[in-house]
Amino acid sequence: MTLLLNRSDVQSLLSMPKAIDVLEAAFAELDAGSAEMPDRTVIVDPSVGGWIAYMPAYSEIGGVRLVLRQ
């Protein structure tokens, strides 16, 4: 089941210190080779003056998928 969270949902569930801890662990996994993060893929649509960027990642620990957009 997919659960979509907006900014206020995330802010109420995840404190900044916890977010920093999680990112530190994620970068440690990447450095250890137990995670994959290919380059960002950007698709531009000049007809609407917009673009979208995908930043996929995989972790052996996994469990959470986070998608950020503005």
Supply the pLDDT for residue 44. 96
> How much is the mean pLDDT over the chain?
84
Q: Which domain holds residue 40?
A: 7-59
Q: Residue 61: is its pLDDT beyond 80?
A: no
Which helix (H) or strand (E) segment holds residue 7: the answer is helix 7-13
Is 41 within the bounds of a domain? yes
Residue 64 located in a structural domain: no
Total of domains in the chain: 1
Torsion of CA 23, 25, 52, 5, to 10 degrees: -70
Q: Is residue 66 in a domain?
A: no
Please tell me the predicted confidence (pLDDT) of residue 66.
58
- Mean pLDDT for the stretch of residues 34-41: 88
Domain contains 1: no
Q: How far is CA 26 from CA 7, 8, 19, in A?
A: 21, 23, 10
For residue 65, being part of any structural domain is answered with no
